[in-house]
């Protein structure tokens, strides 16, 4: 499906917890928003410049990206997951982790009805195998909205366990499911203290039979969990999904990336174009290369 970019207006703002704000987006351009229905579907958001209430929006390209006209000032873009889509109300909910600093967090804290953002059509990653008899969802605060939506939309005959890491009990949320749902709340991580999720997954005893594990959270934790699932447990491809939603010390790592020579960065980019290799093998190699470079 080709990428589309929609003009989305803020219709409601709700503070869910001390660290999360829900923004409801609507308007005529969301009348037939092309949701995939996948629980962790993600979008690109284009934010207004400081002091403005509406961003200039780019034009979608044939290859799934976007471009800007010469007289446009490119808007700041960030990636977020969709918390809910209400086709009848023609709205989309997006939950923002809010904190000091950050373009998206600052926008969400100041957002009022009528403000406008750009919203792309979504892409989903969650894909539990049809034969799965259990699933485990693991996430920190950034991955919590997607984990909650997955739990709510999972088929009723698939038991779900969610391991969710938040700062403290005030950051918990009510999560429901059509089937059996067990939730373990962990209080750590999220940029405040070291995450406990890596060790919890290492110590985790998986249920018998075919299943599925899904992780969304900090990139360094994601790498460690993925290594455990793929190399140590040797789980088959397709039985897990791990996604880095944010990166601790992101600005420091960005500067290191920009300090790499052009040949190295080109080589890293081109790794993904090798269609002779399995995507999981490329991912292993890519992460190993980044770690060797201190990234």
Where are the chain's structural domains? 5-120, 135-248, 249-295
pLDDT in tens, 91-146: 999 999 998 778 999 999 999 999 999 999 999 999 999 999 999 999 999 999 99
How does pLDDT run across 156-208, given as a tens digit for each residue?
Answer: 999 999 999 999 999 999 999 999 999 999 999 999 999 999 999 999 999 99
pLDDT band at 292 (very low <50, low <70, confident <90, very high): confident
Predicted confidence (pLDDT) at residue 35 exceeds the cutoff of 70: yes
The model's confidence at residue 245, banded by pLDDT at 50, 70 and 90, is: very high
Q: Is domain 135-248 annotated with CATH 3.40.50.80?
A: yes
- pLDDT at site 291: 80
The pTM assigned to this predicted structure is 0.90
| Helix/strand/coil (H/E/C) assignment for every residue in the chain | CCCCEEEEEEEEEEEEECCEEEEEEECHHHCCCCCCCCCCCEEEEEECCCCCCCCCCCEECCCCCEECCCCCCCCEEEEEECCEEECCCCEEEEEEECCCCCHHHHHHHHCCCCCEEEEECCECCCCCCCCCCCEEEEECCCCHHHHHHHHHHCCCCCCEEEEEEECCHHHCCCCCCCCCEEEEEEECCCCCCCCCHHHHHHCCCCCCCCCEEEEEEEHHHHHHHHHHHHHHCCCCCCCEEEEEEECCCHHHHHHHHHCCCHHHHHHHHHHHHCCCCCHHHHHHHHHHHHHHCCC
pLDDT of residue 286 exceeding 90, the answer is no
Would you state the pLDDT for residue 253?
65
The average pLDDT across 232-252 equals 88
Span 5-120 CATH architecture:
Beta Barrel (2.40)
Residue 176 pLDDT: 94
């Amino acid at each position: 499906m080709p990428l589309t970019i929609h003009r989305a207006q803020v219709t409601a703002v709700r503070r869910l917890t001390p660290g999360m704000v829900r923004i409801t987006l609507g308007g005529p351009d969301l009348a037939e928003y092309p949701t995939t229905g996948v629980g962790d579907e993600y979008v690109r958001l284009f934010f207004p410049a400081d002091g403005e209430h509406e961003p200039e929006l780019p034009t979608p390209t044939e290859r799934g990206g976007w471009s800007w006209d010469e007289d446009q000032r490119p808007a700041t873009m960030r990636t977020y997951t969709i918390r809910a889509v209400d086709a009848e109300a023609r709205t989309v909910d997006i939950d923002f982790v809010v904190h000091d600093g950050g373009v998206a967090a600052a926008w969400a804290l100041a957002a009022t009805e009528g403000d406008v953002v750009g919203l792309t059509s979504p892409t989903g990653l969650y894909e539990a195998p049809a034969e799965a008899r259990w699933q485990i969802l693991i996430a920190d605060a950034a991955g919590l909205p997607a984990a909650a939506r997955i739990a709510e939309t999972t088929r009723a005959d698939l038991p779900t366990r969610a391991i969710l890491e938040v700062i403290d009990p005030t950051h918990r949320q009510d999560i429901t499911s059509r089937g059996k749902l067990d939730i373990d709340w962990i209080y750590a991580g999220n940029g405040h203290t070291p995450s406990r999720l890596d060790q919890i997954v290492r110590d985790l005893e998986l249920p018998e039979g075919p299943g599925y594990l899904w992780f969304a959270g900090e990139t360094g934790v994601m790498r460690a969990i993925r290594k455990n699932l793929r190399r140590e447990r040797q789980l088959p491809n397709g039985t897990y999904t791990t996604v880095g939603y944010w990166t601790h010390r992101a600005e420091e790592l960005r500067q290191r990336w920009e300090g790499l020579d052009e040949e190295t960065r080109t080589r890293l980019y081109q790794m993904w174009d090798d269609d002779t290799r399995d995507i999981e093998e490329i991912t292993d190699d890519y992460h190993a290369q980044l770690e060797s470079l201190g990234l």
